[in-house]
Amino acid sequence: MNGEFSFQESEGAFSPLARRFADLLLRLSPGASREAGLAAMLVSREVDRGNVCVELKKYASTVLENGESAPPFGEWTRILLESGVAGEPGEWKPLILDAKGRLYLRRYHEYETSLARFVGEGSCFNPSGADTALLKASLGRLFPASGENPDLQRVAALVCATRRFSVISGGPGTGKTHTVVKALALILELNGRPLKIAVCAPTGKAAGRLGEAIRATVGGIDCPEWVKNAIPREVFTLHRLLGFGNLAGSFAHGPENTLAHDLVVVDEASMVDLPLMAHLAGALKGSAKLMLVGDRDQLASVEAGAVLGDICGAGGAEGFTPRFAGFIREVSGDGVETTGEGGNSLSDAITILRKSYRFKVDSGIGECAGAVNRGDGEGALALLSSGSREDAVFEELPPVAGFHRKLSALALLKFEKFLRSKTPGEALAEFSSWRVLCALRKGPYGVEDINSLIERALSSRGLIDSQKRWYAGRPVLITRNDYNAGLFNGDVGVTMSDPEAGGELRVFFQSPGGGLRGLHPARLGEHETVFAMTVHKSQGSEFEEILLVLPPGERAGITRELLYTAMTRAKRKVEVWGEGDSFVSGVKKRVERSSGLRDALWG
């Protein structure tokens, strides 16, 4: 690397991977300078933080964490392009620098570019090819008059039926799954024959819940029997759908080996990162449809990107173009908001469901989650603290010792019935009644310490034997897909003695098609105890009640998306323990991920 530079002395400021990546680029590029290495370290670190790229303007002319000064923006971009390690879009270079100063790892720029092309092309609609008479007849039967105009569920089904790419977004209880099932029925009726359809989700837990919801919904829709039979009941994880390739991290299906499916539905799409979404889009055959379903306001994926949020745009999907709005009125009779002349046609592919069928008008959870989503932290805190709603409560976080006592007592109260369950099915149902959600993994208010605290409390009452690694009553969360065991990231199981195995312990999980199966603990792959879990891990799950523990301080990782996601996991009650000031400031903080996808789609 020119025999001069090494970034290994930057210990602590950047990860070993970022430092080694920068050193490698400098070794392979004789014309590269230290300034190019600094940029390489930054982009590697930003991807690790969930960003797709690094915005050089943010760091130009500043002192970086390793004590070095970054050059001015114009000079830095010139150095990068002259170094040989970075090129403009379309060039074959390790790093790609776009016109707005965003620096990418080349493969991430390819992911973004290919996905933007797919979405842009797939969202187009030509009304001249639509059978309006059949559309009217099917929509009228599948969505009988509801007294609402517009009926956004009906509009969403029409949107999905009339283009290759579509999005249904909405908060909890807005009827997304119900709408998807009817949209599938509409698409099948328009085609007049069964289609090969795949319904999938990012995690096993989300896939299981979606499968249950579909099975409960299909029987009640008004459509021919062959249409009902053609709607799949089995739901896959995305990784299982794509299959595993010969190389680590690769998939069996891609542009050279496309999926045979005519239509793919992805639920909980906010959890899907950019690389995975790009792989899925690239694995679809040219005529296939893709429907994304999820809540655009939830936390983004753990890995790089905020794909669903970027596709929906920052309020850019709030109406339809006048041309498509006219078509909607003609076919369904629904009058929808319009974007005005010259609107982006992508807005025609996106429907935002607004009416919640889960929360009543006077629901504290619904009102508080709505205030958080609007950025009204003071209003949300006032509601939680007022005592006027039994289903939404805020309490000031006690000091550590008091916190331990209070949480231990509450855990004994909430988990005793679960731990006295007689059967695995009863235990799994009871365990979903209450969960502790945390913003962090580490520290006295993090998942790891809280799980240990609850174990000690339960053990002190003789409800479990926490001296053993595996004990009756231990709940576990699967943290990595295990296809050999048939377990997937997000699956939750409970440990109980199994009479059919001579009283030995088995971990029982809900089977995808209903029923239960018990596995020997030794068969489990990566997992963790789950009396408490992070808000990120709770995505795709629902609980009767949740306790949200927010750590103190301004730098506690509390954001609007985290608070909204946590609150909307609960069906009956949300209890928040935290500091009022930290809660309000957290509501004001948005998760901002560096990416060019939104610009590519919305301009």
Residues 99 and 242 in one domain: no
The answer to whether position 168 is within a domain reads yes
Q: Is residue 549 part of a domain?
A: yes
pLDDT, average across residues 214-220: 85
Beta bridge partner(s), residue 309:
none
Q: Is the pLDDT confidence value at 555 over 80?
A: no
Percent of the chain exceeding pLDDT 90 equals 41
What is the C-alpha to C-alpha distance for residues 132 and 600, in angstroms, rounded to an integer?
A: 32
Q: Which range is least confidently modeled, 42-46, 164-168, 316-320?
A: 316-320
185 and 69 both lie in a single domain: no
d(CA 126, CA 34): 52
Give yes or no: residues 51 and 142 share one domain.
no
Q: Is the pLDDT of residue 18 over 70?
A: yes
The answer to whether the beta carbons of residues 253 and 91 sit under 8 Å apart is no
Residue 338 — φ and ψ, nearest 5°? -120, 160
Residue finishing a domain among 313, 333, 358: 358
For 405-419, what is each residue's pLDDT tens digit? 999 999 999 999 999
pTM of the model: 0.86
CB 93 within 8 A of CB 32: no
Which amino acid makes up residue 189?
A: E
Residue 350 · residue 317 · CB < 8 Å: yes
Residue 428 belongs to what domain range?
Answer: 364-588
Shared-domain flag, residues 97 and 157: no
Nearest to 324 by CA among 314, 315, 312, 334: 334
Phi, psi of 570, deg, nearest 5: -95, 140
Please state whether 379 falls in left (phi above 0), alpha (psi between -120 and 50) or beta. alpha
Closest C-alpha to 274, from 42, 52, 106:
52
The number of folded domains in the chain is 3
Q: What is the phi/psi pair of residue 548, to 5°?
A: -100, 120
Same domain, 138 and 220: yes
Q: How confident is the model at residue 513 (pLDDT cuts 50, 70, 90)?
A: low
Judge if 38 and 176 occupy the same domain.
Answer: no
The CATH number that applies at residue 59 is 1.10.10.1020
Whether 8 is in a domain gets the answer no
Nearest partner of 215 among 192, 203, 197, 233, judged by Cα: 233
* Closest to 533 (Cα-Cα) out of 522, 546, 523: 546
Crossing angle between the packed helical segments 560-567 and 580-588, to the nearest 10 degrees: 110
Tokens 């830095």, located at residue: 76
SS3 437: strand
For residue 516, the model assigns a pLDDT of 84
Please compute the mean of the pLDDT values over residues 79-103 and round it to a whole number.
90
* Any domain includes 491: yes
- Residue 529 in domain: yes
- Cβ neighbors of 246 (< 8 A, separation 6 or more) are none
Closest CA to 439 of 369, 538, 527, 300: 538
Give the residue from 315, 337, 358 where a domain finishes. 358
Whose tokens are 């208010």? That residue is: 445
Lowest-pLDDT range, 120-134, 443-457, 582-596? Answer: 120-134
The answer to whether residue 3 scores a pLDDT higher than 50 is no
Q: Can you give the pLDDT at residue 415?
A: 94
Task: Say yes or no: 85 and 230 in one domain.
Answer: no
Do the domain assignments include residue 118? no
Q: How far is 452 from 47, CA to CA, in rounded Å?
A: 32
Secondary structure (DSSP) of 163-181:
SSEEEEEE-TTS-HHHHHH
Q: Assign 3-state DSSP to the chain and report helix, strand, coil percentages, each to 5.
A: 40, 15, 40
pLDDT at 196 over 60: yes
User: What are the backbone angles phi and psi of residue 65, rounded to the nearest 5°?
Assistant: -60, -25
Beta-carbon neighbour count of residue 196 at 10 Å?
Answer: 13
> Are the C-beta atoms of residues 562 and 299 closer than 8 Å to each other?
yes
**Residue 215 reports pLDDT greater than 90:** no
Say yes or no to pLDDT of 316 above 60.
no
The yes-or-no verdict on residue 593 having pLDDT over 60 is yes
Q: Is residue 3 part of a domain?
A: no
Averaged pLDDT for residues 203-216? 80
**H or E element in which residue 265 lies:** strand 263-266
Does residue 353 sit in the same domain as residue 371?
A: no
- Residue 2's pLDDT band (boundaries 50, 70, 90)? very low
Contact 436, 454 (CB under 8 A): yes
pLDDT value for 148: 78
State the CB neighbour count (10 A cutoff) for residue 212.
17
Same domain assignment for residues 242 and 350:
yes
570's enclosing H/E stretch is strand 570-578
Structural domain contains residue 450: yes
424 φ/ψ angles, rounded to the nearest 5 degrees: -60, -40
* Domain C-terminal end among 340, 358, 376: 358
Is the pLDDT higher at 147 or at 445? 445
H or E element at residue 535: helix 535-538
Label residue 154 left, alpha or beta by phi (over 0 means left) and psi (-120 to 50 means alpha): alpha
Per-residue confidence (pLDDT) for residue 543, from 0 to 100: 92
Residue 409's CATH number? 3.40.50.300
User: What tokens were used for 346?
Assistant: 């992508």
Q: Are 450 and 576 contained in the same domain?
A: yes
Among the ranges given (27-41, 326-340, 428-442, 490-504), the one the predictor scored with the smallest mean pLDDT: 27-41
Domain check: are 81 and 165 in the same one? Answer: no
Is the pLDDT assigned to residue 5 strictly greater than 60? no
Are residue 395 and residue 520 in the same domain, yes or no? yes
- Exposure b/e, 125-138, CB count within 10 A at least 16 = b: beeeebeeeebeeb
Mean pLDDT for the chain? 87
Residue 476 has pLDDT above 80, yes or no: yes
**Would the pLDDT of 7 be above 60?**
no
* pLDDT per position as a tens digit, 374-383: 899 999 999 8
Q: For tokens 């390790």, name the residue.
A: 94
Site of tokens 């988990």: 415
**Among 530, 470, 467, CA closest to 496:** 470
Angstrom distance (rounded) from CA 462 to CA 459:
5
Collect all residues with Cβ–Cβ distance below 8 Å to 53 and sequence separation of at least 6.
43, 46, 98, 102, 103, 104, 108, 109, 594, 595, 596
What distance in Å separates the CA atoms of residue 255 and residue 282, rounded to the nearest whole number? 5
